């Protein structure tokens, strides 16, 4: 099977979001052992003017959701951005995975040259072709927020290794 | 043009490494303004048992280099892993970009199903098909180390925004 727009996007988003969920589960387990409130993680930041953990997870979910919706010309579900606990953030990941599972591969295939216009910052938009958008915007942006979420947990003492990020629950199996 | 193994890999590695180089240049400029030794950045870490900045840049370069070499069945240049300054790390990025520029696109195309065996950890190997290796190992690993390098600079006060990571020097143009 040759590589396609769906094979180069959907499995990446699915696997990486499942691995992110696994990292959140490890953060909850870590807090339980150390007897602190796991939801302290929701607000942690790497710099005072950088988005907190909850936003990193939200944007990672939205990067996957919007990439698939925009490439496929499909309506994406709206999320409220009001998660205040790790359980709620895990539910958002689950809802994103549900949406990804609902998208048929052939809805994305052949869309390399479709024009995609999307907001960047407050009052600006950018237009890119489907494949350029996937490789130069959607994927880098998605991995940026997943890795920053990982880095925040790691920086705050959760026992994570790169295998948790790359292969998720199988890492400890 | 339909997406191919080369179009889904080479431009991503090239653009993102160029943007990483741009972030290192901003770190050097930041140190010059604040009058501290820019090479302090080489050793910074997000956790004491996590690899330092220099290793993040080295592994990002090697993730790109080895992905292309393994998918294409091409010999990759060896680097010494002895960089002690930001200039030396920028030179490693430049050498990696030179190698990527030397690889013809048709050396990677059609290699979706080739078996790739690569080391994981000390004494283990893993074998994946070409496309699985690209999407589930090479790309996530590459972005992990680029984003961690970015996070380290950001955490240490360099004036970076996501646009520096996504579009590099054009961000401030």
Out of B8, B141, B157, whose CB is closest to A166?
B141
Please report the pLDDT score of residue B173 as a whole number: 57
- Residue A122 above 90 pLDDT? no
Out of B50, B135, B165, whose CB is closest to A154?
B50
Best A140, A142, A157 member to test B by mutation, with max B CBs in 10 Å, is: A140
Low-confidence stretches of chain B (pLDDT beneath 70) = 172-173
Q: What is the pTM of this model?
A: 0.97
State the CB neighbour count (10 A cutoff) for residue B36: 12
Please report the pLDDT score of residue A63 as a whole number: 98
Whether residues A46 and B11 touch (CB distance < 8 A) is answered with no
pLDDT grade for A169, boundaries at 50, 70 and 90: confident
Q: Say which DSSP state B51 is in.
A: -
Nearest residue in B to A158, CA atom:
B47
Q: What is the pLDDT of residues A4-52, one digit of tens each?
A: 999 999 999 999 999 999 999 999 999 999 999 999 999 999 999 999 9
Q: What is the pLDDT of residues A157-168, one digit of tens each?
A: 999 999 999 999
Radius of gyration of chain B (CA): 16
Helices within chain A (DSSP H only)? 10-34, 53-72, 86-102, 130-133, 139-155, 162-167
Are A64 and A74 within 8 A, CB to CB? no
Q: What residues have CB less than 8 Å from B70, skipping those under 6 apart?
A: B116, B118, B133, B138
Mean pLDDT of A105-123: 93
Q: Say which DSSP state A77 is in.
A: P
Please report the pLDDT score of residue B10 as a whole number: 97
Q: What is the pLDDT of residues A51-93, one digit of tens each?
A: 999 999 999 999 999 999 999 999 999 999 999 999 999 999 9
Distance CA B1, CA B19 (A): 26
**Distances B147 to B33, B77, B97, B100, B157 between C-alpha atoms, Å:** 24, 24, 18, 20, 15
Chain B contact for A67 (CB, 8 A cutoff): no
């Amino acid at each position: 099977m040759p590589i396609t727009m769906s094979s180069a996007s959907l499995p990446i988003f699915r696997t990486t979001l499942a691995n992110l969920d696994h990292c959140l589960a490890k953060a909850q387990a870590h807090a339980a052992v150390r007897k602190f409130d796991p939801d302290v993680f929701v607000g942690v930041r790497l710099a005072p003017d950088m988005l907190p953990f909850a936003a990193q997870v939200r944007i990672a979910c939205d990067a996957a959701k919007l990439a698939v919706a925009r490439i496929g010309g499909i309506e994406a579900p709206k999320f409220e951005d009001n998660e205040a606990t790790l359980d709620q953030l895990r539910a958002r990941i689950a809802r994103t995975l549900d949406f990804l599972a609902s998208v048929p591969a052939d809805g994305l295939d052949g869309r390399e040259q479709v024009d995609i216009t999307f907001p960047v910052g407050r009052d600006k938009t950018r237009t890119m072709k489907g494949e350029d958008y996937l490789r130069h915007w959607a994927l880098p942006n998605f991995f940026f927020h997943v890795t920053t979420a990982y880095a925040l947990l790691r920086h705050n003492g959760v026992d994570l290794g790169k295998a948790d990020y790359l292969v998720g629950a199988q890492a400890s199996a």
